[in-house]
Amino acid sequence: MGYGGYLPDAGEITGKSGDEGIDGKIKEDKLGLDVIYIQAKKWDGTVGRPEIHKFVGALIGQRAKKGIFITTSNFSKDAKEYAESIDAKIRLIDGEELAELMIDYDVGVSKLKTFDTKKIDSDYFSEE
C-alpha cells in the first residue's frame, strides 16, 4: 500500500507471547516519523468492544495515536461505535474488507486466469 516507501524495515511483526496486544507495526512514511500499530485476530465470533478496548490500552502503552485492528470475522456495532468515539485513530478491518485488500494488493492470493477486454478499432476499418 506504499507505507514506509517500500523500505526493508517499513513493517515489523512483533506478535508473540507477551506482545502486550501489538502484533505488528508499520512506518507510515519513509522517515518513520509516525508509526501505525496493528492487532490481528483470527476470530470465530463477532469482535466486541472489550477487544477494541484492550487494543486501545496497548496503544496507550506504546504512546501511539494510530492503530489498525484486523479480524477474519466482523465487529459488533458497539465495537465500531467505540472505535469512532475515542481520540486515537483506530481503523477496523473485518474479514470481508481484508479479503478485498488482499485481492487488490496481491497479498496471499494467486492469479489463476486473466481476461482481456477488447473493443473494435474503428480506425482499422476506415476507408481513407
Q: What pLDDT sits at residue 74?
A: 96
**What is this structure's pTM?**
0.80
Tell me whether residue 115 is in a domain: no
Tell me whether residue 25 is in a domain: yes
Tell me whether residue 78 is in a domain: yes
Tell me whether residue 65 is in a domain: yes
Q: What is the CATH number of the domain that holds 46?
A: 3.40.1350.10
Tell me whether residue 112 is in a domain: no
pLDDT tier at 9, thresholds 50, 70, 90: confident
Distances (CA, A) of 90 to 59, 61, 87, 95: 10, 15, 9, 16
82 is in which domain, residue-wise? 3-104
Structural domains counted in the chain: 1
Q: What pLDDT sits at residue 16?
A: 66
Q: What pLDDT sits at residue 14?
A: 81
pLDDT digits (tens, 9 = 90+) for 43-83: 889 999 999 999 999 999 989 989 999 999 999 999 999 99
